[in-house]
Structure 1
Amino acid sequence: MKLVTGRSIRMAAALMALATLGAACGSAPTPGNGPGKLVALGDSFTANSTLLPTTTTNGCNQSKQNQPRLVASRLGIADVTDASCDGAQTGDIMGGSAPQINKVTSSASVVMVSIGGNDLGFSDIAVQCSKRAITFKTCQGDYVKGGTDSLTAKVAATRPKVDQVLAAVKSRAPQARVVLYGYPTLLPMTGSSTCLGMTFASSDVPYLRAKQAELNVMLKASAQAKGVTYVDVYGPSAGHDPCSSTPWVNKVIDIPPLHPTHRGQTAVGNLIADALS
């Protein structure tokens, strides 16, 4: 999901570091020493750039404990190339000034992909719906007009772009095990109630939950069509929404909002490693 860039994100990251230094500075996964190469492509749900300790790869901040590094450790793979970056869309994997896809070569034995949320503009949607709720309004009408749901249309429009990414990965690394994984739940799985720090109108909650489910269903369909492994994150994250006692994702008021916690990145990494094992 797209984060605020520039000076504001650096300040936010610094504030979070001061507030969470003791809890966040855990040790990074122990690197493997075995053969193979793991390449990761994706957005901030893979990079997890504000979760300490961090590193920088090609100008992109990443957690040293994120999913690619955990999976490599679990599989005993020593060579890791993490191309994930905050704000990445499918277009950033396939093009732009530094296409992530260029990191995928025939030497890759595992390729991890997580993408699509920024193509829908999930962060912008969260901000818009939160603003509406603060003023005692709803946001569904901003996206559903004249019987047309613009978010459903965006999910459909993103499908061929994800297909293109997966096809390119398979073409570049035909011997690699390729994994596409979805997004964890951002809202409680049932009902319309949220909690303190999750500013959404109750009538918008089922709608927003349905839109995220549509995104994950689309990602699964793309993976199946392209013959790659899909790892369901949405289902296993039930009971670990931001309002739970063991959240995999931050609340709206947290820094960064609606992004993985340390618990979340570890849980997702283990789901991926289990699927590859």
Structure 2
Amino acid sequence: MPSTKFSASRALVVVLVMAVVAVLGVAIASYRDAGSGAATPHMAAKTGQAEQRAAWADRQKYVAMGSSFASGPSSNKRGPNNCGRSDDNYPNRVSDALGMRLVDVTCASSTSSDILTPSKRYKKPAQLDAVTSDTRLVTITTGGNDVGYIGRLSVQSCAHMAAMGKRPLRCNSEKLPSPTPVPADFFDVTRQLNKIVHAVHKRAPRAKVVIVDYLPVATLADMSCPELPLAPWQVLDTVTIGESLAAATARSAAATHTTLVKASQAGKEHTVCSSKPWLQGFPGHPPYHPTTAGKKGVAQLILNKLR
């Protein structure tokens, strides 16, 4: 019997020792896992976020500059950035397709001067400041506000509807349109674009620069439709201004050897009076600005040039 008791006691001691060793082993393993960063759910999430940030930083930089035809406002409100930038504008679509890191400084109502120098009206830095030596792609859509293209057209449409007894929301029929732009105004657009392209190359010698001109509101075939409330002579005036703006842009692209995306040509099949418009009609939100289809269409034109 004594030997039996001794054996039982000895077995109990062995079991206890094994249990202590097992507990210590688990503790040591847990400590090592924590120290090595092996993964708790929280730590895995933080690691994933860090990897995403690193991957984003590794993407090539793309800077988009220009006016509302680039910023692509989705409503009459200018939004928190006071520039009317939408998440589906052509810069976002292009950057997503190319996997680039977008810096979008486009701004509704901006002129070519706002690209070169700080905007006093909206208290914004020069859009050009976004271009740095690591920039690899720059798109530019500007000049329309320099000649009062869409603003003038909207005022004319408002007055025309008021004369017909209709008063759309945000339509000030007493406002006068800006003067008709003259040839010198369009040559100024060319000179400004030349300055912008040269300034971009100086800041980012390895950047690919693409000038994107404006979608046309109308053609001479669009003399009458509900979305274009204008007198025939006003439609002719609108077409002339649009074509003159496209020519000014083309002159700059040729002089600076810059890639030109001719939205002004492709958009002739998608005017406000067409069955598949790329621009909103009047009154729109905002009027005479790219629709979702228009943003997608221009983005594809740019991608076709780049690929």
- Report if TM-score (shorter chain) is over 0.5: yes
Matches within 5 A, 1:241-252: 241-252=271-282
Contact 2:149/2:241 (<8 A) preserved: no
Matches within 5 A, 1:77-226: 77=100, 79-96=101-118, 97-131=124-158, 133-134=160-161, 135=163, 150-187=181-218, 189-191=219-221, 193-226=223-256
CA distance in 2, matches of 1:186, 1:105: 34
2:280 maps to amino acid: N
Q: Which has the higher strand share?
A: 1
CA distance in 2, matches of 1:164, 1:199: 37
CA distance in 2, matches of 1:80, 1:213: 30
Q: Which has the higher helix share?
A: 2
| Runs of 4+ with >4 A deviation | 54-57
SS, match of residue 230 in structure 1: strand
Contact 2:181/2:241 (<8 A) preserved: no
Contact 1:92/1:100 (<8 A) preserved: yes
SS, match of residue 254 in structure 2: helix
Q: CA deviation at 1:190?
A: 3.0
1:220 maps to amino acid: A
Q: For residue 47 of structure 1, what is the aligned residue in structure 2?
A: 71
Post-superposition CA distance 1:127-186 (Å, at most 9, x none): 3432554448xxxxx889xxxx64333212222111111111111111011000101110
Post-superposition CA distance 1:164-217 (Å, at most 9, x none): 111111111110110001011101x23351201311101222232021111011
User: TM-score, normalized by length of structure 2?
Assistant: 0.70
Structure ID, larger Rg: 2
Contact 2:143/2:189 (<8 A) preserved: yes
**CA gap 1:71/1:196 in 2 versus in 1, 3 angstroms:** same
Q: For residue 264 of structure 1, what is the aligned residue in structure 2?
A: 294
Using the aligned pairs only, state the percent identity. 27
For structure 1, the 5+ residue unaligned runs are 1-31, 137-141
Post-superposition CA distance 1:213-261 (Å, at most 9, x none): 1101110110121121011001111221111121100002111010000
Q: For residue 63 of structure 1, what is the aligned residue in structure 2?
A: 86
How many residues are treated as equivalent by the alignment?
233
1:110 maps to amino acid: L
Matches within 5 A, 1:16-27: none
Larger relative contact order (C-alpha < 8 A, sep ≥ 6)? 1
Q: CA deviation at 1:42?
A: 0.7
Post-superposition CA distance 1:96-140 (Å, at most 9, x none): 24110000011011001100000011233113432554448xxxx
Contact 1:192/1:203 (<8 A) preserved: no
Contact 1:55/1:61 (<8 A) preserved: yes
